[in-house]
Each structure stands twice: as structure tokens, then as C-alpha cells.
Amino acid sequence: MATDPIPSAAPALAKLIQELNKLPGIGPKSAQRLAFHIIRLPAPEAEELSRAISIVKTNITLCDQCQNLTEATPCNICANTNRNVTQLCVVEDPMDVLALERTHSYQGLYHVLHGSLSPLNGIGPDQLKIRELFQRLSNANIEELIIATNPTLEGEATAMYISRHLSGQQLKITFLARGLPVGGSLEYSDDITLSRALQGRQEM
Amino acid sequence: MPNPRTYLATGIILKKTPFAEADLLINMFSREHGKLRGVVKGAQKSTSRMVGHFEPLTIVEISATKGRTLDTINQAQIINNLSDLKSNLSLISQGLYVAELLDGFGNESNANPHLYNVAVDTLVNLNTNPNQLLNLRWFEIHLLKSSGFGIELESCTSCNNDIQPDHHRYSPSYGGLVCLECNLSTQYSYPISLQALKVFRLIDRTNLLSLPYLNVSNVLLQEMKTLLGTTVRYWVDKEIRTNTFMERLERLD
């Protein structure tokens, strides 16, 4: 049962703390700090914050092509005619699209799955945007499918599930390379990462 | 003088969950302490030297410090990564089934080294010997045995009389065979073929590595899977989520 964050606080303040406490990574203390910060904000700034939350909830939708978060469908990336429409990169979350876009190294399209297969948590193919991916692949002229799921057990299982489903199709399926992070050190790398790095070594 | 708050443990990673900004909350089943939960600081960062050690279905040795609510894992060393298992989707789903049952049957801070060995043997055999069709059936029977719910396969669980061939039913709630004289309601018991009973007895008394490759028909495999699955679900008292995924994969094949 949830405990009252501050028993003696005004109900409105207690409610705000309770709601902030539900955000990821926000504990009761942080929720209190944020709530008091909001109270001290000038009224227009607090209203701006409230409006931004409200607008996000009403305006943000999923792009009907790539399933990424967008205000208009198709999204900016899908609607951009300069992108390479023969490459499709499959990612787990909308944040992964932002990370890949920051690299400026990829000019193809995306497909967001909104998670990865996690049988232990009851997340199967039907809970992800996998069916939409297969539909998209059957309708579009995609030549290369880049599976960029996370290098975790769940991410790898998702990649294997997709590639198993698409086996036998005229489609090049690739995975992101696994290996050492920039700034990392060989000495402290785990055996799996090192062996993956060795397997994926490149000629200089 | 050794710090009493620090301890070592060897175990199987069952689950990892993102925790706070860049930490991971790890659930593992250890030989020394049963089920454990611990936080690994900064393990979500790609430059963390711990990042690859805590994938589910990895056998690791850890050094941890006891905390008020959660322990902190300071060091880890991989003992067996089960890399072949992790490169095959069907084997991953079977490994996760083992992890889910371990989580369901294991107790927190209560060591069960026999159950730990059963789980490790199963995972290692799935990794090295995936063609053994009875890996998971062996695990289920020995999991129940190690957890105190061993299946009675020789005499009637109701009247204690020896079971006569083809004169018995199987009851998960009674913990094994029931003779027809005891006339247990069909609501609580299921028919079990003589072949299934013989395979159960063989599995029950055999080490996994010594278990022969039996030429078992699909019908018999399905019968054993259903009976043991019902028994496991009865004792763990919840739906086994990984079952749904395994069935989905079987349909895909």
C-alpha cells in the first residue's frame, strides 16, 4: 500500500508529490524537491510546464509507418524524400532513433518495436510492433534490414525472432557490430564482449 | 579481519531490471544464499566493466556487500556464459523457463544447493547437449524433488499400495500416482500411459548426463510435458509466462 508522502502536507501538494513519485528514477525525496520547486516557480512557468505535459499527451501519436513518436503521421523521417528508402533499421525504443540520428551516419528509415521480447515479463511478439514490421516489409521495397536491438538477452532474442520469421525472403538482414566501447579498456572487458570484438575484427 | 558485511556467492542470473539512473537490479539464484537481489552501480553504462556479466542465464561468481534494503554487487566474474544456448532462440526460451521456475520455487536467503545443481546441470546440458529432448522434463522432476514436492511413482499416494500396471491415474495435488481403487475424481487426476510412467521413473533415478537419448514419440513427449507442466503450475500456483512464448516458437517451427 502506498504511504502518504507528507502526512501534514496540503492535499494538493501531497497529490503533486505522489504523482511526481510515479516518474521513473524519482524517489519520494526527489518528488518532494521537484514539488517545492514547482511551487516556487512563477505562475506562467508552472502553467507552461502543465501545458507542455497536456500537449504532449494530446498531440503525440505513433507514426503509422515507423511507429515512432510524432505529432504528424508520417513523421519527419518517413516523409523525408532524401532518406534511403531501401534501408530499414529496427530499434527497440524511440530514444534509440534519437541516439542513431545523433551519429549522422545513417540515412535510412526506422521501425520502432516499443520494447523487446521478454517472456519472463509476459512480453511476446503481440505486445511489440513486430506485426507492423512484417506488414511494412511486405509492402515496401526494403533491401536491407538492420536489426539494432540492444545487445542483451532480450534484444538478441528479438533479433533472432525477426530473422527467423523472415528467413527465406529476398532481404539482406544485418545486425549492429558487438564489441568494445570507445573509451573502454581491454583489461576490464568481460569475456563475451571481448570474444564478440574478436569475431567482428576488421582489416585496417 | 574479513568484513562480515561482504560475502561471495555463485549463482545463475535470473533477471535484470534497470534501476535508478544507470544502475541494474539483479535477481539471481545462488548456491550459498538461495535467491538474491542486488544492485550493480552504473552497470547500464556501456563503459561499465560489469556491463556484460549480468545477462540472464549467465552463471557468475559475485562479491557483494549487505545493505539495509538491497545488497550492492561490487565484483563479478563469469563462470559460464552459456553462449551456445544464447545463440538459439528455442534454447533461450527453454533457459528462461528454467529461470522462471527457479524464481518460483527458490526461497530468498535460504540456500538449496541441490536445486542449484539441478538448475546448473540443466542449463549446461541445454548449452552443450540441446538434442536431449528430455532436458526440461528432467529439470521439472528434479526441481520438484529438490523443493520437497517429489513425485511418487511407485505406490498410490492415497492408500500406499503398490501400483499395478495400467491400473493407475496421476494426480498433481496428491503428489503422484493414485490407484483406481481409490477412485479419485477425474477433476483431480489425469490418465497417465505406462510409457510415460516408465520414462518418469527413469528420469527420477538418473543423472542428467547419464540420461540416454530415448526415441520418444511426439505424443509421449506432449503427454509428459502436460502432466509435469500441470504439476509445476499446481505447486508454484501461478501461470508460467515463458510457456506461452515456447508454444509460440513451436508453432513458428
pLDDT at A6 (0 to 100): 61
In chain A, what residues touch B246 (CB-CB under 8 Å)? 119
| A49 reaches B (C-beta below 8 A) | no
Domain CATH code at residue A35: 1.10.8.420
Residues of chain B falling short of pLDDT 70 = 1-3, 184-187
The ranges assigned to domains in chain B are 6-81, 84-252
Mutate to test the interface with A, among B248, B250, B251, B253 (most CBs of A within 10 A): B248
> Quick one: A93 and A125 in the same domain?
yes
Q: What is the dihedral of CA B186, B189, B190, B193, to 10 degrees?
A: -120
CB-CB under 8 Å, A153 with B51: no
pLDDT at A7 (0 to 100): 62
Of residues A119, A184, A185, nearest to B241 (C-beta):
A119
| A184 reaches B (C-beta below 8 A) | yes
Closest chain B residue to the Cα of A195, Cα to Cα: B83
pLDDT at B1 (0 to 100): 56
Helices (H) and strands (E) in chain B, counts: 6, 7
CB-CB under 8 Å, A157 with B252: no
CB-CB under 8 Å, A25 with B20: yes
- The dihedrals phi and psi of B194, each to the nearest 5 degrees, come to -65, -35
| A168 reaches B (C-beta below 8 A) | no
Give SS3 for B29: strand
| Torsion B220-B225-B228-B233 (CA) sign | negative
Predicted TM-score of the model (pTM): 0.87
> Quick one: A129 and A179 in the same domain?
yes
Mutate to test the interface with B, among A23, A26, A120 (most CBs of B within 10 A): A120
Domain B84-252 fold: de novo design (two linked rop proteins) (1.20.1440)
User: Which one of 3.40.630.10, 3.40.50.970, 3.10.20.30, 2.40.50.140 gives the CATH number of domain B6-81?
Assistant: 2.40.50.140
Give SS3 for B59: strand
Residues of chain A falling short of pLDDT 70 = 1-8
